[in-house]
Amino acid sequence: MQNLGNSLVGPSGENWLGTDVYGRDVFSRLLASANVTLLAVVQAVGVAAVIGIPTGLFAGLIGGWLGGVISRISDALQSLPPLILAVAIIGIFGPGLTNAMVAIGFVMAPSLYRLARGAAESVATETYIEAARAWGAGRGV
């Protein structure tokens, strides 16, 4: 709520971070905007994790020609400028914060793919995995 008589007041017991030019409490406005910011970050990281981690684990554990194809797609996406790719995705889905966060998540997904693929490949070459395969365990175990 605006209170022009209370504009640009410094921090006090009533207004912890002071007030802005319209006399509104800066701390309450900061808390209100943190909700939107945190939701946007969770959306972007969630989209990147849902796309990147499962495909990276799949490509790292299965490998073969399919893992190579997925890696080439990831390399192609990483070779594109991120801002242009995000703008193209927003152009397809339309404007809005959720669509922008989906676009950012899609741009971040190849990085998470590479991390998950590297971790899966390093675990797949461990001695306990080789021992399990020597005992007859398949790839799905």
Q: What is the pLDDT of residue 10?
A: 80
Instruction: Give the pLDDT band (50/70/90) at residue 113.
Output: very high
Query: Measuring CA to CA, which residue among 53, 54, 61 is closest to residue 126?
Result: 61
Alpha carbons 12 and 26: distance in angstroms, whole number: 11
Residue type, 123: V
Q: What is the pLDDT of residue 110?
A: 94
* 74-77, long-range: CB < 8 A, 24+ apart: 74/110, 74/113, 74/114, 75/110, 77/107, 77/109, 77/110
Q: Please report how many Cα atoms fall inside a 13 Å half-sphere around the Cα of residue 103, on the Cβ side.
A: 20
DSSP state of 25: B
Alpha carbons 21 and 108: distance in angstroms, whole number: 38
The residue length of the chain stands at 141
Domain range list for the chain? 38-134
Q: What is the pLDDT of residue 140?
A: 65
Residue type, 83: L
Average pLDDT (26-55) is 92
Is the pLDDT at 138 greater than 80? The verdict is no
